[in-house]
Amino acid sequence: MDEWGQPGKIKHQVEPQIDTRQIRIFLSVLELGSVTRAANALGITQPAVSQVLRRLRDMTDDPLLVRSGSKLIPTIRAEEMLGPLRTSLKTIDAAFQSDQSFDPARDDLVFRIASADCMEAFFLPRFISEIRKSAPNARIHLRSIVSGYDYAMALEKGELDLVIANWPGPPGNLRTVRLMTDEMVCIVGPDHDLKETERVTLDDYMGLEHVAPSPFSPRVQGPIDGKLAELGLFRNIRVIVPEFNIVPYVLMSTDLVFTSSVSFARHYELFLPIRSIPAPPEFGTMQFYLLWHERAQASPMNRWLRAEMIRIARDLE
């Protein structure tokens, strides 16, 4: 009913549903000025071309092409459609194009990486230096993996590109590759009874008092306590600190022992009078892993970043 109480006119509108095949047919007719030539060029029948034209004419309520002598010429409405339709096809083609190239010199790059904080001293500064050479315009956002931080969900949401981890058993829904392997050592301060010792046995180790970083999750043991648990052992942890880089300064004035990678120890041995001693051989080596989500597996940027990180890690081994 209209405002006068009279039955309103029913308007039949054709929904503008059109696919790329129809757009290509229409553009071909516009460019060639002939249904026959367009059909031959596209390898389809003339009736198929005519059917598309009829549908587009119904949708636009415009003849779109009119005869001028022996050829068809576009109407004003058809000419207005030409540019937007060509742009739409280019946009769609670009979206599906398999372009695996990547230019690290782009100025819109942001690399987001979370890392176990034992890497902050000896690996991440080198990583930043190398990446700034290869991708000078990129921004780099690093963060630690602290207790309660769901790094797997952050990878899934695209909030992170990569994670560096050193705990065993990363989530099975993530892609993983070994980043580097490091020897494990016991680190002591300048006045510790072990400072002249060449190697610590497992029995010696179990009799020592230890300092350890906070675990990032109460459900996941770190590499040291995980290995001890496999042996049915538990060490005597006397101090828990929030992050690795406090530990060398704690060792300077205590009789505590810290177990970590030899690369971490060597970094601080350069400017602090601490000493590292090979850990019990039962501990094996410390493994560092690179983690990413399946959604980023084929990303040219992520693939480049993974390759760069692996190259830098190999140089440090």
Under a CB-based contact definition with an 8 Å cutoff, are residues 178 and 278 in contact? no
Quote the mean pLDDT of the chain. 87
Under a CB-based contact definition with an 8 Å cutoff, are residues 277 and 197 in contact? yes
Residue 186 has pLDDT above 90, yes or no: yes
pLDDT at 168: 59
181 phi and psi angles, rounded to 5 deg:
-125, 135
Domains observed in the chain: 20-95 (1.10.10.10), 110-316 (3.40.190.290)
Higher pLDDT, 98 or 288: 288
Q: What is the DSSP string of 116-151?
A: -GGGTTTTHHHHHHHHHHHSTT-EEEEEE--TT--H
CA 59 to chain centre: 44
pLDDT at 38: 85
Higher pLDDT, 8 or 94: 94
Q: Specify burial of residue 69 (Cβ count, 10 A radius: 0-12, 13-18, 19+).
A: exposed
Higher pLDDT, 263 or 216: 263
Residue 53 has pLDDT above 70, yes or no: yes
Higher pLDDT, 165 or 208: 208
Q: How far apart are the first and last CA of the chain?
A: 82
pLDDT at 14: 45
Average pLDDT (241-265) is 93
Residue 40 has pLDDT above 90, yes or no: no
Under a CB-based contact definition with an 8 Å cutoff, are residues 183 and 248 in contact? no
User: Residue 125, CB half-sphere, CA atoms under 13 Å: how many?
Assistant: 6
Dist. CA 215–CA 118, nearest whole Å:
12
Dist. CA 212–CA 124, nearest whole Å:
21
Collapsed DSSP state (helix, strand, coil) of residue 233: coil
Radius of gyration of the chain (CA): 33
Dist. CA 9–CA 205, nearest whole Å:
91
Long-range contacts formed by 196-204: CB under 8 A, 24+ apart:
197/277, 198/277, 198/278, 199/277, 199/278, 200/277, 200/278, 200/279, 200/280, 201/280, 202/231, 202/233, 202/280, 202/282, 204/280
